[in-house]
């Protein structure tokens, strides 16, 4: 019984750390965007995928990435982010996890300012295996930057430039905080149950 609880705790913690979406062909995993994560029109959409260490991969995978939706009310035309995603296995893309070697590629897409708010999909299409990997996301409305005129034009003002590591939405902060609170409570309950055995 203790081993079952220990395994469950490890799975919960692992799931919080990594949210990969595996492809049906198992030739790549999507690491970004995270499923159902909110993004904002006018901002960058990070895209990241990992590839196995396989010299035969160019014969097994030809990847394109699209931005699309299944909601007809959005009146949206599919956008090709890249028709030929990089699947090279060069040294600069090489990563290791324990003893496993894999290759990580990243790109970004500027969500147009005029994108209507709603549910969208980042679609990874493998033309060799004829399989798709869908990652649903939520796009929030464009928020125009607020500019204020300084009272003293000669005084320096800090830039409010963005960071790819900063939270750009209160929804993301709330969701992140809620997930960690839920994980902490779940872990606490499991540890209490474990110690009672």
Q: How many CA atoms lie within 13 A of 112 on its CB side?
A: 11
pLDDT reading at 171 higher than 60: no
What is the chain's mean pLDDT, rounded? 79
- For residue 11, name the pLDDT band (cuts at 50, 70, 90): very low
- For residue 166, name the pLDDT band (cuts at 50, 70, 90): very low
Q: What is the pLDDT of residues 109-152, one digit of tens each?
A: 999 999 999 999 999 999 999 999 999 999 999 988 877 666 66
pLDDT of residue 15: 47
> Domain residues of the chain, as ranges?
21-140
pLDDT of residue 180: 63
Q: What is the pLDDT of residues 18-73, one digit of tens each?
A: 568 888 888 899 999 999 999 999 999 999 999 998 889 889 999 999 999 989 89
CA distance 95 to 100: 8
From residue 81, alpha-carbon distances to 48, 76, 114 in Å are 13, 15, 17
**What is the three-class DSSP state of 16?**
helix
CA distance 197 to 195: 5
pLDDT reading at 195 higher than 90: no
41, 34, 46: which is closest to 176 by C-alpha? 34
Domain 21-140 listed as CATH 2.60.40.1930: yes
E strand or H helix that includes residue 134: strand 131-140
> Is the torsion defined by CA of 180, 38, 125, 87 positive or negative?
negative
pLDDT reading at 164 higher than 50: no
> Is the torsion defined by CA of 113, 116, 121, 125 positive or negative?
negative
């Amino acid at each position: 019984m203790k081993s079952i609880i220990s395994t469950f705790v490890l799975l919960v913690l692992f799931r919080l750390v990594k949210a990969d979406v595996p492809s049906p062909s198992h030739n790549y995993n999507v690491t970004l965007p995270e499923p159902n994560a909110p993004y904002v029109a006018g901002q960058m959409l990070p895209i990241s995928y990992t590839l196995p260490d396989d010299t035969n991969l160019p014969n097994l995978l030809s990847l394109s990435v699209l931005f699309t939706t299944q909601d007809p009310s959005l009146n949206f035309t599919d956008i090709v982010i890249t028709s030929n995603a990089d699947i090279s296995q060069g040294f600069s893309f090489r990563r290791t996890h324990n003893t496993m070697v894999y290759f990580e590629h990243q790109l970004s897409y500027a969500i147009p300012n005029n994108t209507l708010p709603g549910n969208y999909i980042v679609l990874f299409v493998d033309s060799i295996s004829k399989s798709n990997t869908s990652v649903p996301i939520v796009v929030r409305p464009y928020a125009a930057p607020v500019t204020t005129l300084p009272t003293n034009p000669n005084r320096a003002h800090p830039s409010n430039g963005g960071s790819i590591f900063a939270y750009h939405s209160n929804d993301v902060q709330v969701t992140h905080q809620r997930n960690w609170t839920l994980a902490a409570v779940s872990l606490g309950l499991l540890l209490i149950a474990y110690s009672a055995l």
